[in-house]
Amino acid sequence: MMRLPDKWLLGLIQNRVVDDKKTNIDTAGKMIAEAAARGAEVVALPEMFNCPYNSRLFPGFAERYPDGETIGMLSEMAAAKNIYIFGGSIPEREEKQIFNTCFVFGPDGSLLARHRKCHLYDVDLKDGLTFKESDVLERGNRITVVNTPFGKIGVGICYDIRFPEMARAMALQGAVLMVLPAAFNLISGPAHWELTLRMRAVDNQFYVAGVSPARNEQASYVVYGHSMLVDPWGKIVQSLEEKEGIIVAEVDLERLRRVRDEFPLLKHRRVDLYELREL
């Protein structure tokens, strides 16, 4: 069995999304290259990094695998920079259906996995925000954990983080990191973004990377930003504010092992009283 490296570098891209798809793709590509130049061996992008977060726009920005221009850029950059890319999410079209999908590519440019958002964001907040993804999008039906030389990495998308069973299923499959492309807004972001990321990290004693687009005040849906990496003790390793930026931060698997050894939550589960069963 191959030994995992004790420490490695993760890059998080917080790009500002505009109405022009080509601009978004070009910006993301340049930021991936910069993260790789700073030593990132795994790079993750935000939810809907090529498309404004507006359900009316998803069909027009949607791409089919493997021919989409965003998909092609992710594959090419993974190969060119010899890195793993967790491609945030984009609208993906399959036949007549559209999904909110994260494509994951390996350092040879091959597709390793795709995660389709499982929990759709259908909310009607009294503060004035109404959003119903299910009007346009279909649900994914799979928990995604990707094998890499740096450890197993789980993938969720935005609203998926609010369902603790999903993160726990990843931990039970051996994940050392959960990557969460997301687009929390100015209502949910200040209230729950940091809280939820840190709680999932503490619950499961793994790293959690929340990756948001940068804030665009002119957008119809204004995101919170504040991408961050949280360690297994719930400590924020590094974070951004609302503006465009890149995080390159260390994932320390020795720290993860130490937290789990000293505070063995996963071993103390009462599986005689409850269990998590996957269909």
Average pLDDT rounded to a whole number, residues 222-238: 98
Give the Cα separation of 114 and 102 in Å (integer). 5
CA angle (227 as vertex; 224, 230 as ends), nearest 5: 130
**What's the confidence (pLDDT) of residue 3?**
84
Catalytic option among 47, 63, 133, 194: 47
- DSSP letter for each residue of 9-78: EEEEEEPBP-S-HHHHHHHHHHHHHHHHHTT-SEEE--TTTTS-S-TTTHHHH-B-TTT-HHHHHHHHHH
State the average pLDDT for the chain. 96
CB contact at 8 A, 218 and 205: no
Q: Number of H helices and number of E strands within the chain? A: 7, 15
- DSSP letter for each residue of 59-88: HHH-B-TTT-HHHHHHHHHHHHHT-EEE--
Of 71, 69, 41, 6, give the one whose Cα is nearest residue 258: 6
**What's the confidence (pLDDT) of residue 28?**
98
Average pLDDT rounded to a whole number, residues 175-180: 98
CA of 164: how far to CAs of 101, 144, 172, in Å?
20, 15, 12
Helical packing angle, 194-204 and 164-172, nearest 10° = 40
Which domains, ranges and CATH numbers included, belong to the chain?
A: 7-268 (3.60.110.10)
Of 72, 2, 83, 73, give the one whose Cα is nearest residue 42: 83
Helical packing angle, 21-37 and 69-81, nearest 10° = 10
Backbone phi, then psi, for 192, in 5-degree steps? -130, -10
Mark whether 117 is an active-site residue.
Answer: yes
**What's the confidence (pLDDT) of residue 278?**
67
**What's the confidence (pLDDT) of residue 173?**
96
CB contact at 8 A, 227 and 255: no
Q: Is 273 exposed, middle or buried (0-12, 13-18, 19+ CB in 10 A)?
A: exposed
pLDDT for residue 127 is more than 80: no
Mark whether 158 is an active-site residue.
Answer: yes
**Which amino acid would we find at residue 69?**
E
pLDDT for residue 129 is more than 90: no
Of 183, 182, 176, 239, give the one whose Cα is nearest residue 208: 176
pLDDT for residue 68 is more than 80: yes
**What's the confidence (pLDDT) of residue 254?**
98
Catalytic option among 21, 51, 92, 117: 117
Catalytic option among 92, 158, 194, 242: 158
| Tens digit of each residue's pLDDT (9 = 90 or more) over 145-176 | 999 999 999 999 999 999 999 999 999 999 99
- DSSP letter for each residue of 198-211: HHHHHHHTSEEEEE
